[in-house]
Amino acid sequence: AQSVTQLDSQVPVFEEAPVELRCNYSSSVSVYLFWYVQYPNQGLQLLLKYLSGSTLVESINGFEAEFNKSQTSFHLRKPSVHISDTAEYFCAVQLYGQNFVFGPGTRLSVLP
Amino acid sequence: DAGVIQSPRHEVTEMGQEVTLRCKPISGHNSLFWYRQTMMRGLELLIYFNNNVPIDDSGMPEDRFSAKMPNASFSTLKIQPSEPRDSAVYFCASSQRGSPLHFGNGTRLTVT
Per-residue pLDDT reduced to its tens digit, B36-93: 999 888 899 999 999 999 998 989 988 999 999 999 999 999 999 999 999 999 999 9
A15-68 per-position pLDDT tens digit: 999 999 999 998 777 788 999 999 988 899 999 998 888 888 888 889 999 999
**Which residues have C-beta within 8 Å of that of residue B28, sequence separation ≥ 6?**
B96
3-class DSSP state for residue B60?
coil
pLDDT at A88 over 90: yes
Mean pLDDT score, B16-20: 97
d(CA B29, CA B23): 13
- On average, the pLDDT of chain A sits at 91
Determine the residue of chain A that is closest to B54 in CA distance. A99
d(CA B78, CA A3): 28
3-class DSSP state for residue A107?
strand
d(CA A37, CA A43): 8
* The predicted structure's pLDDT at residue A79: 97
A45/B103 Cβ within 8 A: yes
d(CA A28, CA A20): 25
Nearest chain A Cα distance for residue B100, angstroms: 7
A99/B48 Cβ within 8 A: yes
A46/B102 Cβ within 8 A: yes
* The predicted structure's pLDDT at residue B1: 65
